[in-house]
Amino acid sequence: MQGLIQRVSEAKVVVEGEVVGEIGQGILLLLGVEKGDDQHKADRLLHKVSGYRIFSDDEGKMNLSLKGIDGELLVVSQFTLAADTKKGMRPSFSSAAVPALGEELYEYFVKQAKASLNTVQTGQFGADMKVHLVNDGPVTFRLEV
């Protein structure tokens, strides 16, 4: 399981012209589920996402976490993170989880996030989404568990 986190001052997801999830300061998480992933990996990734110190303290150092700033989280499913891009000119998705497992672990991750963070918003699993964000920094990290 992997996530691409972006520190944002705001972000939203639009599906068919309607905003389905929107946050202010916090993290936009693009969540990729791969074959072999399970709830334990989802829990470990959530721990990293919520505790990863990517927000500036009073001295301008990245020393604060999402929890530390009481920030907001926007979770968007992103199966293309599981792509193998090493060979050729077309990505292979052979390591991506089947949609049923991907959705199950995405929903599990969101449920656990809502239990531990104050504000959690989501995209819509499997939908054609338009993601709007203001990347603060820009600050972007890929997290794997």
Q: Residue 66: name the closest of 6, 144, 143, 115 by CA.
A: 6
The 8-class DSSP code of residue 34 comes to B
Catalytic one of 6, 25, 55, 79: 79
pLDDT more than 90, % of the chain: 99
pLDDT for position 74: 98
Q: Does 40 map to a domain?
A: yes
Its domain, for residue 72, covers: 2-139
pTM: 0.95
3-state secondary structure of 39: helix
pLDDT digits (tens, 9 = 90+) for 51-106: 999 999 999 999 999 999 999 999 999 999 999 999 999 999 999 999 999 999 99
118: confidence class by pLDDT, cuts 50, 70, 90 = very high
Catalytic site includes residue 39: no
Active site residue 78: yes
Active site residue 80: yes
Asked if residue 74 is part of any domain, the answer here is yes
The confidence score (pLDDT) of residue 42 equals 98
Q: Look up the CATH number of the domain holding residue 59.
A: 3.50.80.10
Cβ pair 10, 128 in contact under 8 A: no
How many domains is the chain partitioned into structurally? 1
The Cα–Cα gap between 82 and 95 comes to 6
